[in-house]
Amino acid sequence: MKGPFDDMFGNTPFDLNNDGHIDAGEWAFINDTVFKEDDDSSDFDEEEDELEDELEMAGLSRDVLEMMDPDERREALEDAGFDADDFDDFAF
C-alpha cells in the first residue's frame, strides 16, 4: 500500500529502512529535520503568544491595537494596566 508521502520522499535518503515507503518514524524524522523552526524563533513566538493571551484576557484585541497609532496604542495598554514598553517588540 502506498502512503501519502511516498511520492514526495519514497526511495530517498529519508526512506531509512529502504522499503520504498515512508512510515511514521521516517515521517517524524523528515518533519524534525526539514520542517523544524529554529529554536531562537520559537522562544520569541511563545513569548508573543503569552502577551497576546494577556491582551485578550484584558479585553484588548490585537486587530484593534494594530489599527491604532502608536500613542493611542500606548495609552490603551497603560489604561488596561500593562507596561507599554513590554510591547515594543510585539508585531502590531
Name the amino acid, one letter, at 24.
A
Question: Does some domain include residue 61?
Answer: yes
Question: Does some domain include residue 1?
Answer: no
pLDDT in tens, the chain (92 residues): 566 666 666 567 777 787 877 788 888 888 888 877 665 555 557 777 888 888 888 888 888 888 899 999 999 999 999 888 888 877 76
Question: Does some domain include residue 26?
Answer: no
Domain that holds residue 56: 39-87
Buried b (16+ CB within 10 A) or exposed e, 12-25: eebbeeeeebbeee
Q: Total domain count for the chain? A: 1
Question: Does some domain include residue 70?
Answer: yes
Question: Does some domain include residue 47?
Answer: yes
Dihedral over Cα of 23, 26, 30, 32: its sign: positive
Asked if residue 26 lies in contact with residue 14, where contact means CB atoms within 8 angstroms, the answer is yes
Question: Does some domain include residue 27?
Answer: no
Question: Does some domain include residue 57?
Answer: yes
Question: Does some domain include residue 67?
Answer: yes
